[in-house]
Structure 1
Amino acid sequence: NSIEVLAKKAPVVYSYKLLNTYTHDKEAYTQGLEYKDGYLYESTGRRGQSTLRKVEIKTGKVLQKIDLDAKYFGEGMTIFNNKIYWLTWQSRKGFIYDLETFKQLGSFDYNNSNEGWGLTHNDSELIKTDGTNKIWFLNPENLQEERSIQVYTHDRALDKLNEIEYIDGKIFSNYWKTDGKGKATIAIIDPNSGAVDGLIGLDELRDIVLKEQTLEQDDVLNGIAYDAENNR
Structure 2
Amino acid sequence: MTATYKLLSITFLAFVLWSCGSNSETKKNSFSIETSAKKNIITLGETLKLSLKNPKNVEVTSVSYKLGDQTIPNEFKVEDVKLGVHKILASIVTEDGTDEVSTRITILNNQKPKLYTFNIINEYPHDITSYTQGLEFHDGYLYESTGQYNESKLRKVDYKTGEVLQNTDLERQYFGEGMTIMNDKIFQLTWRENTGFVYQLDSFEKISTFTYGQSKEGWGLCNDSKVIYKSDGTENIWILDPNTLQEKDHIQVYRDKGKIINLNELEWIDGKIYANNYQYNGVTIINPENGAVEGVIDFSPLHNKVKQHPGLDVLNGIAYNPETKTLFVTGKRWNKLFEVEIIEK
Which residue does 2:334 correspond to in 1? none
Distance 1:221 1:184 in 2: 5
Which residue does 2:309 correspond to in 1? 214
1:205 aligns with 2:205: no
**Percent identity over the alignment?**
48
1:112 aligns with 2:206: no
> Pick from 203, 223, 226: which aligns with 1:101?
203
Counterpart residue identity of residue 174, structure 2: Y
Which residue does 2:249 correspond to in 1? 147
Normalised by the length of structure 1, the TM-score is 0.94
In the TM superposition, 1:1-232 aligns within 5 A as 2-177=104-279, 183-209=280-306, 212-214=307-309, 216=311, 219-232=313-326
Deviation at 1:131, TM superposition (A): 0.2
Q: Summarize deviations over 1:40-97 as a string: whole Å, max 9, x none.
A: 0001100110000010111101111010011010000000001000000011110000
3-state DSSP class of the match of 1:71?
Answer: coil
Distance 1:54 1:228 in 2: 17
Distance 1:213 1:63 in 2: 27
3-state DSSP class of the match of 1:223?
Answer: strand
Distance 1:134 1:91 in 2: 19
3-state DSSP class of the match of 2:296?
Answer: strand
Structure with greater contact order relative to length (CA < 8 Å, sep ≥ 6)? 1
Counterpart residue identity of residue 20, structure 1: N
Superposition RMSD in Å: 1.0
Counterpart residue identity of residue 122, structure 2: N
Counterpart residue identity of residue 213, structure 1: Q
Distance 1:122 1:226 in 2: 13
Distance 2:257 2:220 in 1: 24
- How many equivalent pairs are there? 224
Deviation at 1:207, TM superposition (A): 1.2
Distance 2:256 2:305 in 1: 31
Q: Summarize deviations over 1:103-123 as a string: whole Å, max 9, x none.
A: 000000001100000000012
Normalised by the length of structure 2, the TM-score is 0.64
After superposing on structure 2, the runs of 4+ consecutive aligned residues of structure 1 that deviate more than 6 Å are none
Deviation at 1:2, TM superposition (A): 2.8
Matched-pair contact (CA < 8 Å) for 2:140–2:323: no
Which residue does 1:180 correspond to in 2? none
Distance 1:195 1:37 in 2: 31
Deviation at 1:228, TM superposition (A): 1.8
Distance 1:75 1:95 in 2: 11
Counterpart residue identity of residue 309, structure 2: T
Distance 2:117 2:267 in 1: 18
Question: What stretches of structure 2 of length at least 5 have no aligned partner?
Answer: 1-102, 327-345
Q: Which has the larger radius of gyration?
A: 2
Distance 1:143 1:174 in 2: 22
3-state DSSP class of the match of 1:204?
Answer: helix
Distance 1:76 1:8 in 2: 31
Q: Which has the higher helix share?
A: 2
